Amino acid sequence: MLNGEIISNDPLKSGYFFVRFHAPEICATARAGQFVHVRIAGLGQYILRRPFSIHSTDGDVLSVVYKVVGNGTEQLSRLTPGTVCDLLGPVGNPYTPPADDEIPVLVGGGYGSAALYLLTRTSKQRGVLLLGARSEADLILHDRYRDAGFDVRLATNDGSVGYKGFVTALIPPLLEEYAGKKLRFYGCGPRPMLLALARQLIELGQPGEISLDHLMCCGVGACFACVVKVRSDDGNGWKYARTCKDGPVFDARDVWLED
Ligand SMILES: Cc1cc2nc3c(=O)[nH]c(=O)nc-3n(C[C@H](O)[C@H](O)[C@H](O)COP(=O)(O)OP(=O)(O)OC[C@H]3O[C@@H](n4cnc5c(N)ncnc54)[C@H](O)[C@@H]3O)c2cc1C
């Protein structure tokens, strides 16, 4: 548990904010897919922390991109530079970095484009970002991937930009285009998108990991409030795993795919 002083906390668009904390200890070890469990200043000492994926680390500065959806994020959006929040982190099981000969294909929706960003730093190959949203207005951060040299492809439900339809529809043509290359998929976004992605990867025999978003309490594996069903270690049955400690990142083949 560490003090993180807010350096800036600015609106992006469509209810998203970009907050930067001074958090040198967390930055020193943070890996893609991990998160910080934030006690939001002013929310009350006995109110639960809120989990947010680590978007980026730049020196001693840790950034998080969040959407205002309720009391906690509303309060966070009101905090001004100089306010100190108690941060627990980095927490969770990170993504497996791509091997040197693997092209990372990042598949995101919602705040997924924030959570996948650190993978742009661990890849030797030029990666691909497939980003989906309801409409152009809901797409965030894709320019940062372009700046990092990624090939960015967009999909929107209403067709306002990119492919009209679900982001997972971009995968089959990508596989044709990259035939003979080794790809590794990474997903983060709304649960229906992740389940569709996991099913598709299994059908296509492609390796990949997804980050599950689950309501959580302690964040350190003690309370078992965030369990999800995953394949057992011998591969023949199912067991319960804690999203906060055993996840949030799981192999796509190991996740229970029923809703
Ligand atoms: C590992 C992990 C990483 C996350 N990373 C990010 C991130 O980078 N950016 C971001 O914007 N959000 C992220 N989230 C979701 C974020 O934690 C919640 O949106 C936040 O806790 C909501 O707090 P609140 O007090 O504003 O909303 P509440 O008042 O608690 O809830 C408002 C509404 O949001 C729903 N909600 C709350 N928490 C979640 C959740 N975890 N998943 C789905 N719905 C939820 C509630 O059911 C309710 O309908 C992450 C969640 C997890 C588990």
Domain boundary among 59, 91, 123: 91
Write phi, then psi, for 70 (nearest 5 degrees). Answer: -165, -160
Same domain, 248 and 161: yes
Q: What confidence tens digit (pLDDT) does each residue in 36-68 have? A: 999 999 988 778 999 999 999 999 999 999 999
Parallel, antiparallel or unpaired: strands 227-231 and 102-109: unpaired
From CA 187, how far away is CA 103, in angstroms rounded?
14
Question: Ligand 1: which of 12, 69, 242 to mutate, most ligand atoms within 8 Å of CB?
Answer: 69
259 in any annotated domain: no
From CA 60, how far away is CA 75, in angstroms rounded?
24
Ligand 1: lining residues by beta carbon, under 6 Å: 35, 50-53, 64-67, 69-73, 111, 114-115, 213-216, 248
Question: Ligand 1: which of 75, 79, 213, 250 to mutate, most ligand atoms within 8 Å of CB?
Answer: 213
Domain boundary among 68, 91, 114: 91
Q: Residue 199's domain spans which residues? A: 102-254
Per-residue pLDDT at 2: 85
Number of domains in the chain: 2
Q: Quick one: average pLDDT of 175-184?
A: 95
Terminal Cα distance for the chain, rounded: 34
Closest CA to 9 of 63, 52, 70, 88: 63
Q: What is the mean pLDDT of the chain?
A: 94
Provide the 3-class DSSP secondary structure of residue 231: strand
Q: What confidence tens digit (pLDDT) does each residue in 146-163 have? A: 999 999 999 999 999 999
Task: Please give the model's pTM, rounded to 2 decimal places.
Answer: 0.95
Nearest protein CA to atom 31 of ligand 1, as residue: 70
